[in-house]
């Protein structure tokens, strides 16, 4: 490592140890202020992240996109750890600048080197992150409409990601080939594409009644599809110009079961590998595929990737399974129309005796909850039991369910989240299942309640 300015080094370690002390204090008082240590570290040392990155021996991988970035980053970090690497990772999903700084400050062992950093980044903050550190790789999962009051339309978000990419010409990209919104990213960079050739369902998945999303080609004409897997994800092409889905480096096939998925990879020589992930749903199969391809490109063995997938434990709220008083709880974060619709399609409602939906409208959730009307809650209209709604926008959710065809007498409104959770848990028997679908800040409140 090159000699650095002693003042910068002093500020870095002052910020680091102060952040660790603040984090310890937060644990003592049982506060969930995950970004505060990072805010303090950055205040003391504005070059905190760039200085810390000098201790990385191998690669810094950043992960962004609308849906799946927390799970994808978590899977990749876990796989790298299985391979006996030291990895820094913002595993709690705090993905803005201060949250990333907090995670690194808390987890970094002073005066030592580490092999990898796997950093999940909010799409809008990626360009700021790249002002402070130079990543080797960027993995982009997908782009969907999400929090229009924060991000604007999809092309605005894509431009923000491209702005970040342009700051680092040497950046290598892992890109979802099945998402046309990503096709213009990094045209000057090395790009490795991943995607599915075909999907087979062997489960009780419900068919969405929502109309497919329309995406326009850069030439102004609507895209056509040979295969559409969900929303605007699939094998697309333009009938008016030469634009089409790019060819992935590996041919991937998914088989989706109720409780797990199998992913088959075939290379150009005809060799086939099968990976199994306990995460449910097609959207999680995409997350697993992204992590698998990234790990393979980082020279991680098949055995370590498979072991990592098998032993990965979901981050709180991301298809997480809990056991409370011998009752099964499945928590699925929802935050935008496409993500919510896929959760509604893939959760096995027939196996759940109770459903709880918690909707907040804080800044991190997005103030505008009109997205509820674009999500396919019609999938719940035939659910046989009562559905409980809670949170700051519980009544908005109740109205949405009524218009989705859920009988009014089957909709229970309990504004207080703790009351709603206790009610739902008490209303089911041992070994029965409760599915909880919260927005982000509701999930944070749940974390305190269920500890």
Listed in sequence order, the residues at least 6 apart from 71 whose beta carbon sits closer than 8 Å to its beta carbon are 279, 284, 287, 314, 315, 318, 319
**Max Cα distance, the chain (Å):** 70
Of 131, 267, 368, 382, the active-site residue reads 368
Length in residues, the chain: 451
CA distance 70 to 64: 9
Chain centroid to Cα 294, Å, comes to 16
Q: Does 374 qualify as catalytic in the annotation? A: no
Closest CA to 377 of 349, 355, 405, 350: 405
Cα torsion angle, 41, 44, 47, 51, sign:
negative
Q: Decide: 339 and 143 in contact? Cβ < 8 Å.
A: no
The full DSSP string for 355-394 is EEEE---STTT-S--GGGGTS-GGGGTT--S-EEEESTTH
The full DSSP string for 251-270 is EEEEEEESS-EEEEEE-TT-
CA distance 216 to 29: 51
Q: Decide: 411 and 387 in contact? Cβ < 8 Å.
A: yes
Cα torsion angle, 295, 93, 109, 312, sign:
negative
Indicate which residues carry an active-site annotation.
368
């Amino acid at each position: 490592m090159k000699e650095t300015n002693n003042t910068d080094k002093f500020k870095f370690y002052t910020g680091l140890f102060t952040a660790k002390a603040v984090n310890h204090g937060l644990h003592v008082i049982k506060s969930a202020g995950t970004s505060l240590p990072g805010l303090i570290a950055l205040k003391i040392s504005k070059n905190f992240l760039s200085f810390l990155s000098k201790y990385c021996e191998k690669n810094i991988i950043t992960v962004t996109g609308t849906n799946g970035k927390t799970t994808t980053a978590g899977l990749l970090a876990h796989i790298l750890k299985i391979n006996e690497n030291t990895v820094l990772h913002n595993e709690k999903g705090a993905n803005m600048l201060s949250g990333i700084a907090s995670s690194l400050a808390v987890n970094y062992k002073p005066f030592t080197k580490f092999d990898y950093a796997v950093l999940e980044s909010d799409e809008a903050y990626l360009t700021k992150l790249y002002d402070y550190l130079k990543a080797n790789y960027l993995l982009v999962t997908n782009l969907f409409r999400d929090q229009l009051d924060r991000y604007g339309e999809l092309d605005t978000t894509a431009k923000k990601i491209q702005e970040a990419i342009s700051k680092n010409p040497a950046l290598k990209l892992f890109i979802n080939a099945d998402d046309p919104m990503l096709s213009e990213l990094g045209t000057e960079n090395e790009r490795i594409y991943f995607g599915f050739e075909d999907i087979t369902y062997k489960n009780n998945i419900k068919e969405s009644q929502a109309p497919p999303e329309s995406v326009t080609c850069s030439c102004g004409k609507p895209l056509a599809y040979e295969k559409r897997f969900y929303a605007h994800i699939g094998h697309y092409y333009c009938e008016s110009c030469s634009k089409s889905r790019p060819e992935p480096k590996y041919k991937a096939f998914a088989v989706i079961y109720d409780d797990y998925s199998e992913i088959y990879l075939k290379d150009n020589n005809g060799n086939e590998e099968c990976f199994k992930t306990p995460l449910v749903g097609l959207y999680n199969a995409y997350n697993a595929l992204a992590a698998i391809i990234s790990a393979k490109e980082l020279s991680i063995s098949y055995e370590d990737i498979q072991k990592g997938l098998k032993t990965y434990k979901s981050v709180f709220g991301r298809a997480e399974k809990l056991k409370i008083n011998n009752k099964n709880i499945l928590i699925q974060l929802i935050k935008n129309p496409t993500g919510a619709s896929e959760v509604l399609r893939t959760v096995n409602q027939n196996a759940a005796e109770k459903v709880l939906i918690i909707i907040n409208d804080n800044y991190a959730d997005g103030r505008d909850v009109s997205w509820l009307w674009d999500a396919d809650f019609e999938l719940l209209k035939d659910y046989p039991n009562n559905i409980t709604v809670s949170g700051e926008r519980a009544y908005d959710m109740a109205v949405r369910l009524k218009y989705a065809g859920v009988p009014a007498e089957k909709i229970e409104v309990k504004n207080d989240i703790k009351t709603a959770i206790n009610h739902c848990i008490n209303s089911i028997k041992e070994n029965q299942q409760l599915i909880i679908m919260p927005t982000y800040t509701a999930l944070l409140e749940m974390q305190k309640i269920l500890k």
